[in-house]
């Protein structure tokens, strides 16, 4: 795995920027903070995967960034639910057009579950569903040799779990 890191230092360096963002989203208490950190994560990882030649991971992260932009107003403007859902067919098309076997399957599963998580307007269900999505992305990252992605996933899973088990604060549950 270290060989993969050393073989593509630019790709892995950009991945580490994505890792920093990916490790930060669970620390936010608000849905908006979580989404904005995920937006930055998606942009960095889209470039990271593109440089690694992991086309499905790249496409899924570009679509995820668009999806985050549509998810932000869901809590305050229910009409955006249709805009958010309109991204889903592009996800399917992106998987089909960039199919690379098992890594694509795990990227698609991870993104599908993340899509369900981001559709939630309350923080706790968002976190619970993300707890299912991150292992899928870990499997993808293991298969494509993304050490930054695996690090981001492991720390993200750990911090997300810690935030889930800490005392519940209802005031932070809904979007601003």
Left, alpha or beta for 100 (phi > 0: left; psi -120 to 50: alpha)? alpha
User: Cα separation of 83 and 69, whole Å?
Assistant: 10
pLDDT at residue 91 tops 90? no
Q: What is the pLDDT of residues 94-135, one digit of tens each?
A: 889 989 899 989 988 998 999 999 999 999 999 999 999 999
pLDDT for the residue 170: 58
pTM exceeds 0.85: no
Contact 153, 22 (CB under 8 A): yes
């Amino acid at each position: 795995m270290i060989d993969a890191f050393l073989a593509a230092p630019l790709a892995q360096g950009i991945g580490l920027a994505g890792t920093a963002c990916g490790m930060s989203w669970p620390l936010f208490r608000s849905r908006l903070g979580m989404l904005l950190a995920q937006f930055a994560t998606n942009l960095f990882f889209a470039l990271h995967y593109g440089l690694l030649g992991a086309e499905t991971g790249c496409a899924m992260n570009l679509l995820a960034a668009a999806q985050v932009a549509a998810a932000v107003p869901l809590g305050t403007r229910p009409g955006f639910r249709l805009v958010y859902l309109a991204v889903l067919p592009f996800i399917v098309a992106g998987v089909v057009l960039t199919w690379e076997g098992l890594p694509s399957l795990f990227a698609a599963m991870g993104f599908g579950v993340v899509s369900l998580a981001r559709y939630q307007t309350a923080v706790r269900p968002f976190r619970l569903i993300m707890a299912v999505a991150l292992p899928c992305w870990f499997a993808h990252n293991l298969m494509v040799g993304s050490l930054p992605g695996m690090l981001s996933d492991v720390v993200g899973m750990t911090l997300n779990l810690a935030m889930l088990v800490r005392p519940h604060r209802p005031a932070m549950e809904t979007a601003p």
